[in-house]
Amino acid sequence: MRRIAILGTGMAGFGAAHAAHAAGVRPVMYDMHDHIGGHTASYEFPGGWTFDEGPHVSFTDNTRVQDLLAANVEGKYEAFATKVNNYWKGHWIKHPAQINLHGLPPDLVTKIMMEFVEISQRTEEPTIRNYEDWLRASFGNTFSETFPMEYTVKYHTTTAANMNTEWIGPRLYRPKLEEVFRGALQPKSDDVHYIAGFRYPTHGGFVSYLHPFRKIADIQLDHRVVKIDPKERVIYFANGAKADYDGVVSSIPLPELVPMIAGAPRDVVEAAERLACSEAVIVNLGVDRADLVDAHWSYFYDRDICFARLSTPHLQSPNNVPPGCGSLQAECYYSKKYRPLNQRPEDCIEPVIADLKRCGVLRETDKILFRQAMHIPYANVIFDLESMPATKLVHGYLEDIGIGYCGRYGDWAYIWTDQSFVSGENALQKVLSKV
């Protein structure tokens, strides 16, 4: 029997375990935490509050993954058409703002529309060197500067000029001119969000999708990897344990993984150090009222509001809150490279509450029944201009030494839960084919 080690018990780790199981191999999974799930862990707090490690919903259109997850919760999931909106300077705007300009200041709307007309009449495609160029070319200067460029600084912690365009995919909707006009002239617009609908487990939070996978692997929790010797094929853990392997697949973030590899060359270690990622403080609040925001999540553009995104876990499953209550998750972003977190996560709670009151989500009369802050050290890969060559170098090295990599922080990609799962499957198959 080949000894297959999987590092991490998140979506990618379980994708790898699933592929190993399908190949008749029982892998050993290691995680530094005392629970499984990685970013998709869920926490049930006293009083009946459930919060995921940052808001997580499943919106995959991969029917195989959909079916696997549905079977894992025995078909007990909630399903919704996605409602998403935006908040900007006192205005609530349906998402995406570019086709929902109705009700915004007339001078701003006029300028944005004039620029969309100019873009539509352009005969030559402009040069795109970075994300800012892409935004200006797609939406015009005024819209870009008012909305996505502001959001970029809040969410990605750096400027659009410092980012590449590799990660955009379907994330930003490029409207037809008539959609911009229609959305400016009337209050209703078509639903065009790339996430049309989503599923979420009825009970136990998002991690319920993973629990039945536990039986297909030996799971070693509280095992933090501190060193990997790829020549001897040994993994060393902080608790003093060590494990031999024939094949290994890792979902550990690359900037953590590379310095742990015995003999990693200096240029590869330095490349891994250049990989930037945002970190998040998630402020979780439980409120004595359910009618808080009529959206599953909302984007906040104003820089003087400390969070970039707000979600409503009680609208994902009613079992995430006690009866009659509502809950909020606010995401505040930082990064070691661009905006260091210089305070304790708990210090974000009161500013978030104050900003929620300023924008009318919370009322003075609301009772906050639960409050808590979570720190997520790796949130979103920052696709700054250094990231592509550095990622390529690191991946090339891992392939040379036979360490499989997968998931959001192994592939170093802006991928979702289902894509992380598939990434784990693919990485495992590649490793198995070589041992």
> Nearer Cβ to ligand FAD, position 146 or 423?
423
- Least Å from the CB of residue 374 to ligand FAD: 10
User: How many angstroms separate the Cα of 280 from the Cα of each of 172, 297, 320, 344, 346?
Assistant: 22, 16, 21, 12, 12
**Cα 311–55–378 angle (5° rounding)?**
125
Question: Which is nearer to ligand FAD, 2 or 33 (by Cβ)?
Answer: 33
- Whether residue 265 is preceded by a cis peptide bond, meaning omega within 30 degrees of 0, is no
* Of residues 19 and 180, the one with the C-beta less far from ligand FAD: 19
How near is the Cβ of 191 to ligand FAD at its closest, in Å?
18
In angstroms, give the least distance from the CB of 144 to ligand FAD: 24
- Residues in contact with ligand FAD by CB under 6 A are 7-13, 30-33, 38-40, 54-58, 224-225, 251-252, 256, 280, 331, 376, 379-380, 407-409, 415-417, 420
Amino acid at 278: S
Q: What is d(CA 286, CA 48) in angstroms, rounded to the nearest whole number?
A: 10
- What's the rounded Cα separation, in Å, for the pair 252 and 229? 15
For the bound state, the minimum distance from the C-beta of residue 16 to ligand FAD, rounded and expressed in Å, comes to 9
Q: How far is the CB of 258 from ligand FAD (least distance, A)?
A: 12
Collapsing DSSP states into helix, strand and coil, what is residue 284? strand
Nearest distance, CB of residue 260 and ligand FAD, angstroms: 7
For the beta sheet containing 225-229, the strands, ordered from the edge strand earlier in sequence to the opposite edge, are: 225-229, 234-237, 242-244
User: How many Å apart are CA 351 and CA 348, to the nearest integer?
Assistant: 6
**Planar angle of CA 35, 37, 41, nearest 5 degrees:** 85
**Nearer CB in complex with ligand FAD: 139/334:** 334
Nearer to ligand FAD, 271 or 376 (CB): 376
Which residue matches tokens 């995406």? 96
SS3 36: coil
Choose between 100 and 420: whose C-beta lies nearer to ligand FAD: 420
Nearer residue to ligand FAD within complex by CB, 44 or 256:
256
**Shortest CB 423 distance to ligand FAD, Å:** 7
d(CA 116, CA 256): 44
